[in-house]
Structure 1
Amino acid sequence: MEEIPVKVAVRIRPLLCKEALHNHQVCVRVIPNSQQVIIGRDRVFTFDFVFGKNSTQDEVYNTCIKPLVLSLIEGYNATVFAYGQTGSGKTYTIGGGHIASVVEGQKGIIPRAIQEIFQSISEHPSIDFNVKVSYIEVYKEDLRDLLELETSMKDLHIREDEKGNTVIVGAKECHVESAGEVMSLLEMGNAARHTGTTQMNEHSSRSHAIFTISICQVHKNMEAAEDGSWYSPRHIVSKFHFVDLAGSERVTKTGNTGERFKESIQINSGLLALGNVISALGDPRRKSSHIPYRDAKITRLLKDSLGGSAKTVMITCVSPSSSNFDESLNSLKYANRARNIRNKPTVNFSPESDRIDEMEFEIKLLREALQSQQAGVSQTTQINREGSPDTNRIHSLEEQVAQLQGECLGYQCCVEEAFTFLVDLKDTVRLNEKQQHKLQEWFNMIQEVRKAVLTSFRGIGGTASLEEGPQHVTVLQLKRELKKCQCVLAADEVVFNQKELEVKELKNQVQMMVQENKGHAVSLKEAQKVNRLQN
C-alpha cells in the first residue's frame, strides 16, 4: 500500500481596510517564482502550494481541490480542511458562508466541488451513482446535526466501522439528485451554524463544521468469466469531507466575554488537540508512539484524514498583518509539520459487495460438491447391488459411504445457511435488476436440487424423507450392506462391530461440523446487523 504525504497549501489574505488605516505592516510574503513564504526578516517555509494576496478562488480550487474530486470518483476518500487564526479567510476559502449572496467568481471550494462532482457523474452513464450529504457541527465539544436540528446532541456518536473508518452514528444523510439540491442543503446548514461577532471578525465561526458528500457507485457493465458465469457489479463507496475549522483566538485581541469567552476556550482546546496530533504524526521520532486522536471530537473526526486512508489537503490561511505575527508564525509551523504526515489511500469497495461475491463463489463450490457427492452415492449404490467377493473392496465401500455421509450433511447445512443469509440480504441491500434476476435463478436452482435430493433419498431408503436427512438414509444403507456381507462372506462379528464404531465416530464429527456451521451462521447474522446500522 503506497504512502503519500498530506498536501499543504498556504494562502495569504490581503490586508483589511481597517488594518491598512492603522498602518499595519505586511510581515508575510510570497517569494516570487517559488512555493515558499517568508515571515519576518528571515523565516522561510516551503510548501506544496503557495497563494499570495492576489490569488483567486478559481486558482486555489483548480490547483488543490480538482485532483481530489477526480480521486473521489475513482473511489478514494478525500478531505480538505482550512486551518488558521480567526479572521484569516478560512470560511471564505472553503465556501462555508452564505452562498446565495456570493457572486460566481467569489464562490469557495465546496460550491465548486459540488458542481464538478455532478458534472463528472453525468460523464459516466455506465455507472449508477447514489449521492448523499451530511453536515455536522462541533460546538463546544458537542456534535450537532445541521441538517436536522431537532436531533439531540446525545443521539450523535463517533464510532469506527469494520474497516476502521470513522463514522457518525445518528447523523442525517440526505439523498440528492442534483447540484442544486446539495447547494440548498449546504445553505440551510450554513444558516444554522453558530457564528458571532468579535473585535477581530464580524462573522466569526464559533464551531468546527464538516460537510460530507458520500458517493456509492455501481458499475453496471458486467464481464464474463471463463466458465460462462458473470462477475457481480463493483460497488465502490467514497466520501469527501470539507472541514471548516474555527479560528484560534486570543482573548486580549477578540475582547470575548461571557458566552463568547467559553466558546473561545473550547475552540482553542480543540485546535490544541489538533496541533498535538499534527506534531505527533509529523515527527518521525514519534511515529511509533501514541497519537492523541481521542483528546477532542474534531481530532477523532479527522483520524482518517490525518495518518489514515484518505487523500488530504490542508489549506493554512494566514494574516499578513504584523499585529498577527505570532499567530501567523504558529500556523506556518503547524503547516510545515503537517507536510511530514503520510496517509495510505485505498479504493473503498463496499463490504456488502465483497460478501455477495464471496457467497456466490461459495455457492458455486457447494453446488459442484453436491453434484459430485450425488454421483458418488449413485456409483456406490450400483456397486452394492452388484456385490463383490472382495473383502477389501467392501471395507473401502463402507469408508466411502461414511465419508459421504459427513460431507453431504455438511454441504446441506452450508447451503441452507447461505440460502437464509441471501434471503435476508435480498431485503436489506439494494440490488439492481440483474442482481435480483441472478439471485432468483439461484433460489430456483436450490428448490430443484432439494427435489432431486428428496427423490434420490426416497429411491434409496424407500419411505425416507428429506427431513430425515442423508444421515438416516446412510445408516439404513450401511445396515443392508452389512447384512449382505454377512450372508455372502460370513464375516465375523468383530469386523462389523469395529465398522459400527467407526460410523459412530463419524457421526460425532458430523455433529461437530453442524455446531461449527451454526457458529458461522451467528457470525453472518451479526454482520447483517452491523450493515443495517450503517445503512
Structure 2
Amino acid sequence: METGGGGEDCCVKVAVHVRPLIADERAQGCKDCVTVIPGKPQVQIGTHSFTFDHVYGSTGSPSSAMFEECIASLVDGLFQGYNATVLAYGQTGSGKTYTMGTGFKDGCQTGIIPQVMNVLFKKIETLKHQTEFQLHVSFIEVCLLSSRILKEEVQDLLDPTCLNKPETANGHAGKVTVPGKPPIQIRETSNGVITLAGSTEVSVSSLKEMAACLEQGSLSRATGSTNMNNQSSRSHAIFTITLEQMRKLNPVFPGESSPNESMNEEYLCAKLHLVDLAGSERAKRTGSDGLRFKEGVHINKGLLALGNVISALGDDKKRKEGVHVPYRDSKLTRLLQDSLGGNSRTVMIACISPADINAEETLNTLKYANRARNIQNKPVVNRDPMSSEMIKMRQQLEYLQAELCARGGGSSSDEVQVLKERIAWLEAANEDLCRELHEYRGRCTIVDQRETDAQVCNSICFFWNFSVSPLLIS
C-alpha cells in the first residue's frame, strides 16, 4: 500500500466534553468548578483559561452535536482514503467509555462508535453501485498480562480462544488464553505503517455483524470496581474499522473500453481507530490497594508515556530541533504512532468532571489536551501503488488531450478516433516488444549458461595443461 496524494499537514483537533455532576458527587456536596464561556469554545477552571476547537456539555454546545461537528468529517474522509483516529482521554469516571460507546451492550446506541457504524453503512448503501467495499474490524486492549506477571501486553478482544472469567476475590476481571497461542506483536512495515501481527480481524458485511463484534469485545474487556467507578476500565481499548474500496474510474475517452480492466480501477484502504483510554487516577481517591493499585500505577505509566509523546510533538521548538519522540516507551504510544504526528486525521475528546473534588485532575486533563492541539499530523491518501501510477498516467493523458484541443481549437470526432487508433497501435506494439524482450531474456539466460559452461571447461583445460601435463612429461 502506497501513501500519497493530496494530503496537507493538519493539527490534532481537540474537543472537551464536560459531563454533569453525578449523584455521588451531589451527595458529597460537590460544587461545579468548571466554567464554559457562552458562545466560545473556552473553558475556565480557577485562574486558568483554555481555548479548544469545541466544548460540549455544561453551558457549551449540546453533546448531541459532537458527532456531526467532530466525527462525521472523519468518516467522510475514510471513503477518500484517509486514516482517522478518535481518542478519548480523561480521569477515571469522567465518561470516556460512555462518550465513545465501547461499553456497547444489548444494542445500546449511546456513544460515538455506534453512530460511526450507522453512518458508515448508510454511506456504503448509497455508493455500493459504483464502488466495491470490504469491511474488517479488530478490537484490542492494552493491559496487564495477568495477576502474576505485571507486564503491559496487547490482548485480542475478538479472539474466540480467549475465555472470560468472572471477577476474582480482589475484583480483578481476568482472562485465560489457550496455551500455545503466540502473543500479539507490534510490527512496522517498510513504509512506516504500524500493524499488529496475530490479532483477529473479522470481515463484516452488515451493521448487525459489526455491532456483534463491538459487543463481544466490550464484554471481554478488563474492568474492575473502585471507589470512583463501579465499572472502571482497567485497559486502553482500540476498536479499528478498516475500509477497503475498489472504485471504477471513468475512461479517459468516452466509450473507451480498456483490455486491462485494472487500468480503470482505483484501490483505497483506510483505517479508523476509535480509542478509549483507561482513566488517569489517584490511589487516594480510588481507594485502590493490592493488584488494583498496581494496575493504576501501570495505567498512569502508559498515560505518562503518551503525555511525553504529546509534549515532544506539541512543542514547536522541540519539533524544529528534531527532538526524539519516545513512541517506543510503551505499547500504547507505539500503537498510536500514526495517530499522533503521523498519517491520520485525529480528534481528541478530553472528558472532564466539573466537581470541585476533581479540580486537580480536571486541570491536568485540560493541560494535557491543550498541548495536543499543537501536534501536526500528515494525513495522505492510502492508495495502491498500481492505482497511483495509473492515476498519474490518466492525468497526463487528460492534460495532453486538453493541450491538443487548445492548439487545434477543438478536435473533431475523426481526430479523436485517429488518436484512439494511434494509442491502440502503440499499446499493441508495446505488447509485442515486451514479448520479444521476454524471449530475448530467455535466450540470453541460455547463452549465459553455455558461456559459463565453456569457461568452466577452459578452466579445467588450463589447470590440466599447467598442472598435470608437466608431471606426465617428467
TM-score normalised by the chain length of structure 2:
0.75
1:77 to 72, 77, 83: 83
Query: Which 10-residue stretch deviates more, 343-352 or 271-280?
Result: 343-352
Distance change in 2, residues 1:57/1:149 (3 Å)? farther
Distance (whole Å) between structure 1 residues aligned to residue 337 and residue 30 of structure 2: 38
Distance change in 2, residues 1:468/1:193 (3 Å)? closer
Asked whether the equivalents of residues 206 and 267 of structure 1 are also in contact (C-alpha less than 8 Å), the reply is yes
1:64 to 70, 75, 100: 70
Distance change in 2, residues 1:21/1:161 (3 Å)? same
Distance change in 2, residues 1:373/1:63 (3 Å)? closer
Match of 1:132 in 2: 136
Could you give the per-residue CA deviations for residues 92-134 of structure 1, whole angstroms, max 9, x where no partner exists? 00001133263x5xx1000000000010101112000000000
Match of 2:165 in 1: none
Letter matched to residue 44 of structure 1 = S
Distance change in 2, residues 1:309/1:368 (3 Å)? same
Match of 1:43 in 2: 48
Letter matched to residue 51 of structure 1 = Y
Letter matched to residue 93 of structure 2 = G
Q: Say yes or no: does 1:183 pair with 2:211.
A: yes
Between the two proteins, the alignment pairs up a number of residues equal to 384
Secondary structure of 1:190's counterpart equals helix
Match of 1:266 in 2: 298
Distance (whole Å) between structure 2 residues aligned to residue 237 and residue 136 of structure 1: 20
Measured after TM superposition, the shift of residue 412 of structure 1 is: 4.0
Secondary structure of 1:148's counterpart equals coil
Letter matched to residue 159 of structure 2 = E
Distance (whole Å) between structure 1 residues aligned to residue 372 and residue 52 of structure 2: 10
Distance (whole Å) between structure 1 residues aligned to residue 86 and residue 434 of structure 2: 57
Kindly indicate which of the two structures has a greater share of residues assigned to helix: 1
Query: Which 10-residue stretch deviates more, 155-164 or 124-133?
Result: 155-164
Asked whether the equivalents of residues 370 and 411 of structure 1 are also in contact (C-alpha less than 8 Å), the reply is no
Letter matched to residue 331 of structure 2 = K
Measured after TM superposition, the shift of residue 27 of structure 1 is: 1.1
State the structure with bigger RCO (CA 8 A, min sep 6), 1 or 2: 2
Q: Say yes or no: does 1:146 pair with 2:157.
A: yes
Letter matched to residue 56 of structure 2 = F
Identity of aligned residues (%): 46
Could you give the per-residue CA deviations for residues 194-229 of structure 1, whole angstroms, max 9, x where no partner exists? 011100111100000000000100013452469974
Match of 1:220 in 2: 248
Distance change in 2, residues 1:279/1:372 (3 Å)? closer
Match of 1:424 in 2: none
Distance (whole Å) between structure 2 residues aligned to residue 207 and residue 352 of structure 1: 40
Secondary structure of 1:308's counterpart equals coil
Q: Say yes or no: does 1:336 pair with 2:370.
A: yes
Measured after TM superposition, the shift of residue 156 of structure 1 is: 0.7
Distance (whole Å) between structure 2 residues aligned to residue 411 and residue 342 of structure 1: 52
Match of 2:286 in 1: 254
Asked whether the equivalents of residues 249 and 266 of structure 2 are also in contact (C-alpha less than 8 Å), the reply is no
Measured after TM superposition, the shift of residue 371 of structure 1 is: 4.0
Measured after TM superposition, the shift of residue 148 of structure 1 is: 0.5
Distance (whole Å) between structure 1 residues aligned to residue 105 and residue 62 of structure 2: 17
Asked whether the equivalents of residues 57 and 109 of structure 1 are also in contact (C-alpha less than 8 Å), the reply is no
Asked whether the equivalents of residues 232 and 357 of structure 1 are also in contact (C-alpha less than 8 Å), the reply is no
Asked whether the equivalents of residues 138 and 297 of structure 1 are also in contact (C-alpha less than 8 Å), the reply is yes
Distance change in 2, residues 1:412/1:298 (3 Å)? farther
1:116 to 116, 119, 122: 119
Measured after TM superposition, the shift of residue 373 of structure 1 is: 9.6
Secondary structure of 2:281's counterpart equals coil
Q: Say yes or no: does 1:236 pair with 2:240.
A: no
Task: Name stretches of at least 5 consecutive residues in structure 1 with no aligned partner.
Answer: 359-363, 375-407, 417-465, 476-503, 509-535
Could you give the per-residue CA deviations for residues 58-112 of structure 1, whole angstroms, max 9, x where no partner exists? 311111111111111111001001001100010000001133263x5xx100000
2:98 to 82, 92, 95: 92
Distance (whole Å) between structure 1 residues aligned to residue 445 and residue 32 of structure 2: 89
Letter matched to residue 158 of structure 2 = L
Q: Which aligned pairs between 1:255-404 and structure 2 lie closer than 5 A?
A: 255-287=287-319, 288-351=322-385, 353=387, 368=429, 371=432
Letter matched to residue 330 of structure 1 = N
Distance change in 2, residues 1:293/1:467 (3 Å)? closer
Letter matched to residue 131 of structure 1 = L
Cα RMSD (Å): 3.1
Secondary structure of 1:237's counterpart equals strand
Distance (whole Å) between structure 2 residues aligned to residue 412 and residue 356 of structure 1: 28
Distance (whole Å) between structure 1 residues aligned to residue 102 and residue 63 of structure 2: 13
Distance (whole Å) between structure 2 residues aligned to residue 256 and residue 373 of structure 1: 72
Which structure has the larger Rg? Answer: 1
Distance change in 2, residues 1:258/1:471 (3 Å)? closer
Secondary structure of 1:119's counterpart equals helix
Distance change in 2, residues 1:233/1:200 (3 Å)? same
Asked whether the equivalents of residues 126 and 221 of structure 1 are also in contact (C-alpha less than 8 Å), the reply is no
Distance change in 2, residues 1:63/1:99 (3 Å)? farther
Measured after TM superposition, the shift of residue 471 of structure 1 is: 8.4
Measured after TM superposition, the shift of residue 368 of structure 1 is: 3.8
Measured after TM superposition, the shift of residue 467 of structure 1 is: 10
Could you give the per-residue CA deviations for residues 169-192 of structure 1, whole angstroms, max 9, x where no partner exists? 111111101111100110000000
Letter matched to residue 132 of structure 2 = D
Measured after TM superposition, the shift of residue 26 of structure 1 is: 1.1
